[in-house]
Homo-oligomer: A and B are copies of this chain.
Amino acid sequence: MSVTIKDVAKRAGVSPSTVSRVLSNHPRISHATSEKVRAIMEDMGYHPNIMAKSLVSKTTQSLGVILPKPAEELFLNTFFMELIRGIVAQANRNGYDVVLSSGSSEQEEVDAVSRLVYGGRIDGAILLYSRKNDPVVDFLSRNQFPAVLVGRSEQHSNMITVDTDNIQAAADATRHLIQMGHRRIGFVSGPPELVVSLDRMEGFKRALQEAGLEYRKDWIVEGEFLQESGYRAMSFFMNLPERPTALVVVDDMVSFGILRGLHELGYRVPEDVAIVSFNNIALSELSTPPLTSIDIGIYHLGYTASQALIQAIQDKNKNGAAIHHQRHIVPHRLVLRESSMFSPSTPK
């Protein structure tokens, strides 16, 4: 029922092709007709039919975002939402729509993605997780389909990734504590199978060595990205004969667990133990005391992923160039709050 390019053409007394060219700002259209046609389009309320356009142009102007399975963890939920917002904002700005997809099993996921890809519904895809050996990554890589992975992965050489420089970030966090005068610093890490845990640990180590401080393996504790892990790490450190005066903590949630534990035992933060952690979630400024944290710019991460994907799609369409590996780094920044605002008096 809606008004088509032909209707406009008829009323303007020109051919459909002309109208189409007006739409795409073809250089060889006279200013006069262009004006006239535009006026009529406006008047008739013409809107191009995206499906028809896609059919012939073989491009859909939309990006697929593959959601990971339900995440129980609060942090992940806010993380993904922020990420998606960044992706959508940038996509829309470039005239792309975003199609969401998810599956409850791995097989379902692959099926859903292949339906989108082979069915020609999306021009590129963004993956929001980085399981090792992911079948969806395999699939996209095999098909030379433009795709961006948020996170780090060595799985395939032709993947575009967007990530935080976690080594740098951890080094920054650690240097801050050193600058505040701390000489005995512990590290609370995440699951050792995650690249992010390892990278942050590495950055911590480097900053220590760079400052000529000893890297003590017995002051490293591993755990999950959960409050309980923090609580446990806290007990561990507090029962040590010789204790660190400051901690670098792999995630804010974990820090909350530490804060709670220290408070229960009557220790003060930052006077007894100073804390710096990562991710700067919204809650970080509301805790007692507010947490010094590395903001990893989640929105920006999504934004960059979107940007990189669109670029890749356009490169492919233009040059037919194969996708080759790229790594985009999104800058982080240290947000100073009370939890690290204390210099231990003991010099040296």
- Give A residues with C-beta under 8 Å from B: 2, 45, 47-52, 54-55, 60, 62, 65, 67, 70, 72-74, 77-78, 80-82, 84-85, 88-89, 92, 97-104, 112, 114-116, 118-121, 227, 256, 260, 281-283, 286, 288
Contact = CB atoms under 8 A, between A and B. Distances in A.
B99 A62 contact: yes
Contacts of A89: 102, 104
A44 to B, nearest CB: 12
A100 B78 CA distance: 17
Nearest to A121: B50
Identical copies of this chain, number: 2
A55 B47 contact: no
B101 A92 contact: yes
B99 A98 contact: yes
Given A51-B51, A62-B99, A227-B286, 6 more contacts: A49-B119, A50-B121, A55-B55, A77-B78, A92-B112, A260-B288
B97 A47 contact: no
B97 A101 contact: yes
Contacts of A103: 92
Given A78-B74, A92-B112, A119-B49, A85 B60 contact: no
B54 A51 contact: yes
Contact of A97 (B88, B99, B104): B99
A260 B82 CA distance: 27
A93 to B, nearest CB: 9
B2 A118 contact: yes
A119 B47 contact: yes
A47 B114 contact: yes
Contact of A60 (B48, B51, B55, B256): B51
Contacts of A2: 118, 120
Contact of A77 (B82, B98, B114, B115): B82
A118 B47 contact: yes
Contact of A100 (B60, B97, B114): B97
B88 A102 contact: yes
Contacts of A62: 99
Contact of A78 (B51, B54, B78, B260): B78
A54 B104 CA distance: 26
Nearest to A97: B99
Contacts of A74: 78, 281-283
Contacts of A80: 81
A3 to B, nearest CB: 9
A77 B67 contact: no
Contact of A55 (B51, B72, B99, B286): B51
Contacts of A85: 67, 70, 102
